[in-house]
Chain A
Amino acid sequence: MLLEIRDLRVRAENKDILKGLNLSVNAGEVHAIMGPNGSGKSTLARALAGHPGYEVTGGTITYDGKDLLELEPEERACEGVFMAFQYPVEIAGINNTYFLKAALNAVRKYRGEQELDAVEFMQLVRGKAKLLEMDQAMLGRSVNEGFSGGEKKRNEIFQMAVLEPRLAILDETDSGLDIDALKIVSNGVNALRSPERAIIVVTHYQRLLNYIVPDFVHVLTEGRIVRSGGRELALELEEKGYGWIEGEPAGARG
């Protein structure tokens, strides 16, 4: 088991958002977390990444045998946890490539690996940039500064491709993408699917799951996973809407 979440309770802005969430994820699996607005999808993603605005008030998260909640955000990243931000942050004055090199070398150092030299790093970056159709100009600009919504999301997956995490959490990576950008991003994610890696796709819409086909789909409402199933559950949700699930008695499981 790569990730084991038990009875997770999270508070943000003085509100209880997650109210006892359970989720188990094995390496090699792709899980989709779907749910209506305000159900706690993004809260789950941010709590996993260790965002300081999200207070864990109960439950456990075990990642690769370790207590994830004991780790600082940067330690989680170095352990191989990667969250693609719903709203990537613009950082003026820090070059995209420089940032990525600092990140990669921080992760490598943590793992006791040699830092990459400039030539090795640029070779790696060029290959991954091609995958996400990132041009040189984007790499040379400040992190996310002046990027369009689609470019920001592409940059997130590009970073993921370079950092090669073991657990990737995509927080509404599809929101704000046109179909072309959605395809590029999905191709990037699919290229990273591997037996060693797990991916959690947080999304409001089924559309993304046409391109990133999940092994499991979970429906999150009011801070709990109320139904889990295979890919067909997403299609059912698309057809019937979230009201169909919300109408069922709490605790109903597929």
Chain B
Amino acid sequence: MTHVAERQETYAAGFDAFRLTPAFGSGALPAAREAAFGRFRAAGFPTTRHEEWRFTNVAPIAAIPFEPAAEAVVDGAAARALNFDGAVPWLVLVTNGRVSTPASLPAGVSVSTLAGAAARAIPSGRPASAGVFVDLNTAFFEDVVLLDIADGAVVDQPIHVLFIAATGHAALVSPRLVVTAGEQAQCTIIESYADLGSGSVWVNAVTDVQVAAGAVVDHVKLQRQDPESFHTASMFVRLGRASTFASRAITLGAAIARNDIVAVLDGEGAECTLNGLYVAGGDSLVDTHTTIDHAKAHCPSHEVYKGVLAGRARAVFNGKIIVRPDAQKTDAKQTNKALLLTDEAQINTKPQLEIFADDVKCTHGATIGQLDEDALFYLKARGVGGVQARNMLIHAFAGDVLTGVKAESVRETAMRLVDEKLHLNDSAD
């Protein structure tokens, strides 16, 4: 265990240096950073003895002496190549955690950064002690994207916040995104992560989304980091009265990818969808922990997570649904499906229902398996055989997670990337 303690000293040295920079902030922020770093030092890296980390061993992350990433500039063409196909003109580029303020934005949308709005970087609604990696982000985030959608603004085209890690080995990047959708606002936000450097990068991201009454937010997260990198992320969403929030989390990269999502249905009639798709091969590990917190009555929630695992990949899915005493007429559905393409691939899946109201509907189900032999034979019996039949079935399995995405260009790009990733696994088999 000594090496872990030493690692924390590496972070302490980094933190001492960070204190002296303008990005450390002013007002209440420095104190919040000090407190968060104090909690991180006291708690240290979680081990598999922690219930929330039982199946995810972060020792490979703890073993590397990560240092905060320096500022970097990426080539414009390289950044554009990571944008989505077709009509995604609104790009907010964040390189090593630093925000490049976009030249133009659609009407009703504004982007602020740490320089102008440090006080709003940590929304008051977020619960304290959300986890040791959230604390680490709070201590180290270099900048923040504060994306505000004005009341009543209807933004037709998606806004893409692209987080690029452009750095060498053993760099820690701490991206932070705060989305505030005003009353009756409507928008599609893409949050994506990619690496343009070399070596192992640790991206430790925090996202907050506030969805005001009647607002409709479509959120797509695409994580396509390099296979030797690490990705830990925590998203916290608060939904107001009669608002709608839909998340699709697509995980294609990183050696260890951990996503924590907490959505609080905090107003009557709010509707929340948390869908996800992960594709993993090699020795990688994808862990998803979601919590849907039904705090008010008459809220439906839908959750479908699907995984395709090849090689010796492992996945963890933990889906918690809380129904508070006031949340009568809750209708919560949760499904987790995993397709294991090899004998070595494995998944640990667990639904966790905590229901304190009596007039509710909660269903959950998990299926784990290989490709459906009957479906495979049906395709063959019509002349479609071999790799084509297999790919059609995998594509179909993965595809329905994306069917609800409103922006067609986003849906198609995401599906293309998923297919590419799957094809990659084919040739590696």
Give chain A's interface residues, CB within 8 Å of chain B. Answer: 49-52, 72-78, 82-83, 85, 88-89, 91-94, 99, 102-104, 106-107, 110, 142-143, 159, 163
Chain B residues engaging chain A, CB cutoff 8 angstroms: 372-375, 377-386, 388-389, 392-393, 395-397, 399-400
Nearest B residue to A103 via CB reads: B382
Instruction: Report B-chain residues with C-beta under 8 Å of the C-beta of A78.
Output: 383
On whether the beta carbons of B380 and A73 are closer than 8 Å, the reply is yes
Q: Which residues of B contact A77 (CB under 8 A)?
A: 380-383
Assess whether A92 is in contact with B383, with CB atoms less than 8 Å apart: no
Residue of B384, B388, B399 most packed against chain A (CB within 10 A): B384
Closest A residue to B398 by beta carbon equals A93
Rounded to whole angstroms, the CA-CA distance of A51 and B382 in the bound complex is 12
Chosen A-B contacts, 16 in total, with CB atoms closer than 8 Å, are: A50-B380, A74-B385, A75-B385, A77-B381, A82-B381, A85-B378, A89-B375, A89-B377, A91-B372, A91-B378, A92-B396, A93-B396, A99-B382, A103-B383, A106-B388, A159-B382
Closest 5 A/B residue pairs (Cβ): A74-B385, A93-B396, A77-B383, A103-B382, A73-B380
**Which B residues are in CB contact (< 8 Å) with A159?**
382
Write the nearest CB–CB distance from B384 to chain A, whole angstroms. Answer: 5
Whether A74 lies near B380 (C-beta < 8 A) is yes
Among B378, B383, B386, B395, chain A packs the most CB atoms within 10 A around the CB of B383
Given known contacts A51-B377, A52-B373, is B396 in contact with A102 (CB within 8 Å)?
A: no
Beyond A91-B378, A106-B385, 18 additional pairs, beta carbon < 8 A: A50-B380, A50-B381, A72-B380, A72-B385, A73-B377, A73-B380, A74-B379, A74-B384, A77-B380, A85-B381, A89-B375, A91-B396, A92-B396, A99-B379, A106-B382, A106-B388, A107-B383, A163-B382
B375 to chain A: which residues have CB within 8 Å? 89, 91
Q: Which of A85, A88, A106, A159 has the most CB of B within 10 A?
A: A106
**Chain A residues, Cβ within 8 Å of B380:** 50, 72-74, 77
Assuming the contacts A91-B393, A92-B400, A93-B400, asked whether A106 and B381 have C-beta atoms less than 8 A apart, the reply is no
A211→B168 CA distance, assembly (Å): 74
- Count of chain A to chain B residue pairs whose CB atoms are closer than 8 Å in the complex: 79
User: Which residues does chain B contribute within 8 Å of A89, judged by CB atoms?
Assistant: 372, 374-375, 377-378
- Which residue, of B380, B388, B392, B395, has the highest number of chain A Cβ atoms within 10 A? B380
Contact check, A88 vs B378: say whether CB atoms are below 8 A apart: yes
Please name all residues of chain A whose beta carbon is closer than 8 Å to the beta carbon of B372 when the two chains form the complex. Answer: 89, 91
Judging by beta carbons under 8 Å apart, are A106 and B373 in contact? no
Option from B377, B388, B397 in Cβ contact (under 8 Å) with A93: B397
Bound Cα distance from A107 to B399, whole angstroms: 26
Inter-chain contacts of B388 with A (CB < 8 A): 102, 106
**Are A102 and B392 touching (Cβ within 8 A)?**
yes
Q: Give chain A nearest CB distance to B82 CB in angstroms.
A: 27
Q: Known contacts A94-B392, A102-B384: does B377 contact A52 (CB below 8 Å)?
A: yes
Complex: chain B residue closest to A142, CB-CB: B396
Q: Do A73 and B381 have beta carbons less than 8 Å apart?
A: yes
Instruction: Report the Cα distance A110→B388, complex, angstroms.
Output: 14
**Closest partner residue, chain A, to B403 (CB atom):** A93
Residues of A within 8 Å of B399, CB to CB, are: 93
The interface residues of chain A lying within 8 Å CB-to-CB of B382 are 77, 82, 99, 103, 106, 159, 163
A159 to B384, CA, bound (A): 13
Measured CB to CB, the nearest residue on chain B to A110 is B383
CA distance A55 to B379 in the complex (A): 20
- Which chain A positions have C-beta within 8 A of B397? 93
A147 to B384, CA, bound (A): 22
